[in-house]
């Protein structure tokens, strides 16, 4: 619109000038993993964000790359008896035992909320036996708002849990290939660090049809109350998470990157943007924030901000340029 | 959890030992203006990762402050690393506060005369409750239990309220020698409870069990301010659950931070604890 006053025109021009001067090349944080399209590579890890309802009161969830919802089973589960948590140096042990609302309730009440929130959803699926995984995959097939399924073959906290599938390449391949036949969704298999050779298992999952991998699940650990001479967790052992496990997570992502070409979602101890960058350098295409969500409601957003800052400070325009960009001496 | 939960930096105003415990006073930003007895806050003592997690504390008192923003009192025991670091905070330092969290005690009205029962540092939410009930004109009777006289904190607050106080100590150094639940039982046996009476209790696990039995015996609804290992306080980690029996007969694992921290004793499935 033409401005009648020269003074205002001058002001406008100087404002425009300022704007041009300030404009930096836009950062490209977008990431695609199979059919999962994300505005940035920062997801929130399964079991560390519920179904998003609580945190949605603090910030719009669509600012996240994706939400991986609480580990889902066919039937609702109440999980383990308390005590379920023990704090350890730079970390925590948990033993929730897959407490979740079950797949029917997920589809009935949680998915409508998440679809409305406009954030891609990854459903973490768990079964006691192969048939349960397959049934879950079938029920979730064709459901809108779901960007991918994450196959949990590595939960350390349920007796009959998926960990048996996660500890051998043959069993892992069997469950992945059965699920592959049951759904068109993008499949991510979540790897356990509690194995002797994670590379063989990773390769077996990819060969069986997994479109991506996520690493790591929690590290089996234990905490003892010396005074009482008792384990702190009712289940005796639990899964360690938090900054204490970051070196293990980085190692697993780095090792797996050497043997597979599919995208890896790196997780384990990410608190800052720089932690996320470390995972990307090790070979992850995206990352997930877990335990840090417990420290600050907006922890995952801080990771996004930190990542942006790193990119701006280091002249990285595309986040994908960081993936696997580790310099080995 | 109400949508008004906030995460903010708060200025420490006072922090000093009281007997065997500690009293912290910080400046609220307004987030806690409408907090009620039984609600709590989760405090981040340290910005780094050791210790990693926040520490949950009951709101012990809301004191009038400048511009309608309260000063908040927290009573705490220095037990391990987190609370020990908290004792180092000096006036002018800041702490990270997340709150108000959880639901308040139920009832808190004139139809429900209150028997307030605390053990040790379990007195913290009871100071707030007692002051609140006094303001609302709800009849109350306070039972304070402690290991020893130096464990009795904020006694002067209860005295100023001019409410009937019963004191017991495990070592007999103050009040009656014995457990607070014995004193409560004696009171009820004497038939002193008015119709509609409820019990509000906070203390260690063995006291919870004992007070639940007393409540059960005298058919008095008993509300416990539950304590469990907790990570987030936000309702997302599912660590702080309490096993609660449902009408269906099923036991559900219910979040202390979100649906709690107050649970009716008769609904707790003690076998799952």
Give A236-281 pLDDT, tens digit per residue.
999 999 999 999 999 999 999 999 999 999 999 999 999 999 999 9
Residue B244 counted as domain residue: yes
Residue A13 has pLDDT above 90, yes or no: no
CB A295 to CB B239 under 8 A? no
Taken as a whole, chain B contains a residue count of 273
Residue B239 counted as domain residue: yes
Taking only the tens place, the pLDDT of each residue in A58-108 is 999 999 999 999 999 999 999 999 999 999 999 999 999 999 999 999 999
For chains A and B, CB pairs below 8 A equal 107
Taking only the tens place, the pLDDT of each residue in A104-131 is 999 999 999 999 999 999 999 999 899 9
Pair (B152, B45) in one structural domain: no
Kindly list the domain boundaries of chain A, sorted by start residue: 29-322
Query: Do A288 and A43 form a contact (C-beta atoms < 8 A)?
Result: yes
φ, ψ (nearest 5 deg) of residue B158: -60, -40
Residue B1 has pLDDT above 60, yes or no: no
Q: How many whole angstroms separate alpha carbon A196 and alpha carbon B93?
A: 47
Grade residue B65 by pLDDT with cuts at 50, 70 and 90.
confident
Partner-chain residue, chosen from B50, B236, B252, that has the shortest CB–CB distance to A48 = B236
> Domain of B184: which CATH number?
3.40.50.80
Taking contacts as CB-CB distances below 8 angstroms, the residues of chain A near B54 are 294-295
B58 forms bridges with which residues in the sheet?
B40
- Domain end marker among B86, B101, B116: B101
Continuous segment of H or E residues that includes residue A192: none
Taken as a whole, chain A contains a residue count of 329
Q: How many whole angstroms separate alpha carbon A286 and alpha carbon B208?
A: 47
- A294 interfacial to chain B (CB closer than 8 Å): yes
- A96 interfacial to chain B (CB closer than 8 Å): yes
Pair (B140, B203) in one structural domain: yes
CB A58 to CB B7 under 8 A? yes
Pair (B170, B237) in one structural domain: no
CB A297 to CB B7 under 8 A? yes
> Domain of B232: which CATH number?
2.10.240.10
CB B52 to CB A78 under 8 A? no
What pLDDT is attached to residue A8? 46
Grade residue B271 by pLDDT with cuts at 50, 70 and 90.
very high
B71 forms bridges with which residues in the sheet?
B27, B63
- Domain end marker among B47, B66, B101: B101
CATH 3.40.50.300 given to domain A29-322 = no
What pLDDT is attached to residue A240? 98
Continuous segment of H or E residues that includes residue A272: none
Grade residue A227 by pLDDT with cuts at 50, 70 and 90.
very high
Pair (B17, B67) in one structural domain: yes
Pair (B210, B136) in one structural domain: yes
Grade residue A22 by pLDDT with cuts at 50, 70 and 90.
low
Taking only the tens place, the pLDDT of each residue in A147-206 is 999 999 976 666 555 567 888 999 999 999 999 999 999 999 999 999 999 999 999 999
Q: Are strands A91-94 and A237-241 parallel, antiparallel or unpaired?
A: antiparallel
Q: How many whole angstroms separate alpha carbon B231 and alpha carbon A85?
A: 8
Token readout for A36 is 């999962």
Pair (B111, B157) in one structural domain: yes
Pair (B117, B217) in one structural domain: yes
Nearest CA-CA distance, residue B213 and chain A, Å: 21
Mutant choice from A48, A56, A79, A85 vs B, greatest count of B C-beta within 10 A: A85
Grade residue A21 by pLDDT with cuts at 50, 70 and 90.
low
The structure's pTM equals 0.93
Which residues have CB under 8 Å from B18's CB, separation 6+?
Answer: B75, B153, B154
- Quote the percentage of chain B above a pLDDT of 70: 99
Token readout for A229 is 């001479």
Nearest CA-CA distance, residue B4 and chain A, Å: 9
Pair (B218, B142) in one structural domain: yes
CA torsion through residues A83, B45, A228, A155, sign: positive
Q: How many whole angstroms separate alpha carbon B192 and alpha carbon B125?
A: 24
Q: How many whole angstroms separate alpha carbon A81 and alpha carbon A96?
A: 8
Grade residue A282 by pLDDT with cuts at 50, 70 and 90.
very high
What pLDDT is attached to residue A161? 54
Partner-chain residue, chosen from B236, B238, B242, that has the shortest CB–CB distance to A293 = B236
Pair (B118, B221) in one structural domain: yes
Domain count, chain B: 3
A31 forms bridges with which residues in the sheet?
A38
φ, ψ (nearest 5 deg) of residue A138: -65, -45
Q: Which domain holds residue B212?
A: 105-225
Pair (B117, B216) in one structural domain: yes
Considering only residues B3 and A234, tell me which one the structure prediction assigns the higher pLDDT. Answer: A234
Which are the catalytic amino acids of A? 155
Pair (B196, B261) in one structural domain: no
What pLDDT is attached to residue A162? 59
Query: Do B261 and B84 form a contact (C-beta atoms < 8 A)?
Result: no
Mutant choice from B9, B53, B237 vs A, greatest count of A C-beta within 10 A: B237
Residue B1 counted as domain residue: no
Considering only residues B66 and A187, tell me which one the structure prediction assigns the higher pLDDT. Answer: A187
CA distances in angstroms from A95 to A46, A47, A233, listed in the order given: 14, 11, 7
Partner-chain residue, chosen from A78, A85, A90, that has the shortest CB–CB distance to B49 = A90
- Which region, left, alpha or beta, applies to residue B196 given φ > 0 means left and ψ of -120 to 50 means alpha? left
- Which region, left, alpha or beta, applies to residue A262 given φ > 0 means left and ψ of -120 to 50 means alpha? beta
**How high is the mean pLDDT of chain B?**
96
ipTM of the complex, rounded to two decimals: 0.94
Q: What is the mean pLDDT of residues B162-185?
A: 97
Residue B261 has pLDDT above 80, yes or no: yes
């Amino acid at each position: 619109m033409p401005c009648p006053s020269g003074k205002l025109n001058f002001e406008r021009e100087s404002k425009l000038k300022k704007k041009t001067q300030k404009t930096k090349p836009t950062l490209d944080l977008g990431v695609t993993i199979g059919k999962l399209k994300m505005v940035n590579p920062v997801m929130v890890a399964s079991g560390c964000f519920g179904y998003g309802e609580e945190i949605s009161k603090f910030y719009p969830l669509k600012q996240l790359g994706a939400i991986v919802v609480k580990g889902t089973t066919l039937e609702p589960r109440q999980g383990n008896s308390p005590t379920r948590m023990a704090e350890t140096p730079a970390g925590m042990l948990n033993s929730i035992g897959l407490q979740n609302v079950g797949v029917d309730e997920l589809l009935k009440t949680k998915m409508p909320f998440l679809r409305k929130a406009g954030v891609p959803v990854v459903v973490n699926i768990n079964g006691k036996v192969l048939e349960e995984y397959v049934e879950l995959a079938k029920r979730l097939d064709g459901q809108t708002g779901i960007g991918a399924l994450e196959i949990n073959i590595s939960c350390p906290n349920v007796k009959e849990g998926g960990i048996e599938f996660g500890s051998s390449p043959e069993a892992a391949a069997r469950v992945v290939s059965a699920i592959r036949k049951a759904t068109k969704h993008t499949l991510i298999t979540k790897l356990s660090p509690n194995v002797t050779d994670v590379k063989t298992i990773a390769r077996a999952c990819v060969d069986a049809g997994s479109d991506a991998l996520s690493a790591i699940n929690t590290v089996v650990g234990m905490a003892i109350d010396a005074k009482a001479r008792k384990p702190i967790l009712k289940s005796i052992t639990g899964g360690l998470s938090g900054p204490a496990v970051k070196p293990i997570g980085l190692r697993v992502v780095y090792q797996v990157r050497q043997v597979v070409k599919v995208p890896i979602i790196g997780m384990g101890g990410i608190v800052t943007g720089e932690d996320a960058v470390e995972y990307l350098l090790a070979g992850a295409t995206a990352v997930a924030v877990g335990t840090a969500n417990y420290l600050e409601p907006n922890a995952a957003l801080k990771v996004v901000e930190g990542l942006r800052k790193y990119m701006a400070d280091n002249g990285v325009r595309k986040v994908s340029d960081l993936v696997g960009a580790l310099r080995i001496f | 959890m109400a949508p008004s939960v906030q995460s903010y930096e708060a200025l420490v105003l006072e922090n000093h030992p009281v007997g065997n415990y500690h009293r912290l006073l910080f400046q609220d930003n307004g987030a806690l203006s409408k907090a009620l007895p039984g609600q709590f806050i989760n405090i981040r003592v340290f910005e780094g990762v050791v210790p990693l997690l926040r520490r949950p504390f009951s709101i012990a008192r809301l004191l009038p402050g400048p511009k309608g923003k309260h000063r908040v009192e927290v009573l705490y025991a220095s037990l391990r690393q987190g609370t020990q670091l908290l004792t180092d905070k000096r006036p002018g330092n800041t702490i990270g506060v997340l709150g108000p969290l959880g639901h308040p005690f139920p009832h808190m009205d004139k139809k429900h005369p209150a028997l307030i029962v605390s053990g040790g540092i379990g007195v913290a939410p009871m100071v707030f409750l007692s002051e609140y009930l006094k303001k609302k004109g709800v009849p109350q009777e306070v039972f304070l239990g402690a290991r020893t006289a130096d464990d009795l904190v904020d006694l002067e607050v209860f005295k100023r309220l001019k409410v009937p106080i019963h004191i017991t100590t495990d070592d007999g150094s103050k009040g009656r020698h014995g457990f607070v639940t014995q004193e409560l039982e004696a009171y009820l046996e004497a038939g002193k409870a008015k119709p509609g009476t409820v019990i509000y209790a906070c203390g260690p696990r063995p006291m919870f069990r004992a007070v639940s039995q007393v409540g059960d015996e005298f058919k008095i609804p008993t509300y416990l301010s539950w304590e469990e290992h907790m990570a987030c306080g936000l309702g997302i980690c599912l660590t702080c659950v309490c096993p609660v029996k449902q009408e269906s007969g099923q036991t559900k694992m219910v979040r202390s931070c979100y649906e709690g921290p107050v649970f009716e004793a008769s609904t707790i499935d003690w076998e799952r604890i």
